[in-house]
């Protein structure tokens, strides 16, 4: 079943507007569990309760409070609504950048961008996709989804334009935030670097995403099937963390030999 449209509008490229819709390009395949009572196997209800008065709170009594220096500052729905970004129906392309310049850590959610509105929109869409594909660059733009403005990068994948929302730069913690846990910067001996490079080259291959699968998801599915059949499950011991190699050069040489073998 095709994913439903989450947003409709237009991609604005100069004076060209391409009517499009956004559809989710990802899906959640992870097994999900309900919280249930162990005795009755019925679902547990989660209720809104005031922690001070220990009584249920109706929705019309729920308000927004933001804690600042131990003080709860109350904000109304109307005040928040007044700050919502201006709702638009366009994804305004502001710049084209080299995809390699975008830090992968900034990528968030991904959507398909599909044409809507007939053959005229389809022609404009195909032109935009072809131009972007030939340029080999990502189109950066902004758009409003629900009540939030997003920065987004659009690229062509398998002939279809995809849009990935991006985190803003200040949403990524800098490495300095690690404090004392940040590894010290010291250059290893050249011989060790050369051996490590050889190991990387020996393990080198073209990236094929279909070659990797979610092994944990399959294990959970097999566990549920086994439990349904009444099979007893043995819980394995907690694995030990491997120790650091006492002789790093020897470990590198043996690793290279094992890969090549």
Residues in CB range of 175: below 8 A, 6 or more apart:
182
Give, for 169, the enclosing helix (H) or strand (E). Answer: none
- The least confident of 15-29, 33-47, 110-124, 202-216 is 202-216
**3-state secondary structure string, 73-118?**
EEECHHHHHHCCCCCCCEEEEEEEEEHHHCCHHHEEEEEEEEECCC
More confident residue, 115 or 188: 115
Q: How many helices (H) and strands (E) does the chain have?
A: 5, 9
**Where exactly are the structural domains of the chain?**
5-27+84-170, 186-203+247-261
Q: Quick one: what percent of the chain has pLDDT higher than 90?
A: 31
The burial class, CB within 10 Å (0-12 / 13-18 / 19+), for 253 is middle
More confident residue, 251 or 7: 7
* CATH code of the domain occupying 5-27+84-170: 2.40.290.10
CB of 202 within 8 A of CB of 260?
Answer: yes
pLDDT for the residue 80? 81
* pLDDT band, very low/low/confident/very high, at 233 (cuts 50, 70, 90): confident
- Give just the sign of the alpha carbon dihedral 12, 16, 18, 24: negative
pLDDT for the residue 168? 92
Torsion (CA) 132, 138, 144, 150 in degrees, nearest 10: 170
pLDDT for the residue 162? 95
Q: Using alpha carbons, list the distances in angstroms from residue 81 to 146, 167, 235, 248.
A: 12, 22, 51, 59
Average pLDDT for 166-175: 91
The CA distance from 173 to 182, in Å, is 13
What digits encode the pLDDT tens for the residues 90-141?
Answer: 898 899 898 889 999 999 999 999 999 888 889 989 988 888 888 888 999 9
Which residue shows structure tokens 């935009």? 128
Taking each helix axis from N to C terminus, what angle separates 190-203 and 248-260, rounded to the nearest 10 degrees? 20
43 token code pair: 């679902």
Torsion (CA) 97, 99, 104, 108 in degrees, nearest 10: 70
CB of 180 within 8 A of CB of 168?
Answer: no
pLDDT for the residue 242? 75
DSSP, res 149: E
What digits encode the pLDDT tens for the residues 42-96?
Answer: 999 888 999 889 899 998 899 999 999 999 999 988 888 777 766 678 898 899 8
What predicted TM-score, i.e. pTM, was given to this entire model?
0.74
């Amino acid at each position: 079943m095709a994913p439903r449209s989450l947003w409709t509008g237009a991609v604005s490229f100069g004076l060209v507007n391409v009517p499009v819709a956004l559809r989710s390009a990802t899906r959640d395949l992870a097994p999900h569990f309900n919280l249930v009572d162990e005795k009755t196997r019925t679902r547990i209800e989660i209720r809104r309760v005031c922690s001070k008065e220990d009584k249920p709170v109706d929705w019309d009594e729920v308000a927004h409070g933001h804690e600042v220096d131990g003080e709860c500052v109350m904000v109304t729905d109307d005040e928040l609504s007044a700050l919502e970004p201006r709702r638009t129906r366009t994804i305004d392309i502001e710049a084209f950048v080299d995809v390699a310049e975008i830090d992968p850590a900034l990528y968030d959610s991904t959507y398909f961008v599909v044409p809507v509105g007939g053959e005229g929109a389809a022609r404009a869409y195909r032109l935009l996709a072809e131009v972007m594909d030939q340029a080999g660059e990502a189109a950066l733009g902004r758009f409003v989804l629900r009540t939030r403005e997003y920065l987004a990068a659009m690229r062509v994948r398998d002939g279809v334009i995809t849009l990935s929302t991006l985190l803003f730069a200040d949403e990524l913690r800098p490495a300095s935030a690690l404090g004392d846990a940040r590894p010290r910067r010291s250059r290893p001996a050249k011989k060790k670097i050369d051996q490590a490079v050889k190991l990387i080259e020996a393990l080198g291959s073209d990236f094929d995403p279909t070659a990797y699968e979610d092994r944990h998801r399959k294990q959970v599915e097999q566990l549920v099937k086994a439990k349904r059949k009444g099979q007893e499950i043995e819980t394995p011991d907690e694995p030990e963390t491997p120790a650091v190699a006492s002789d790093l050069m020897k470990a590198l040489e043996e690793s290279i030999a094992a890969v090549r073998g």
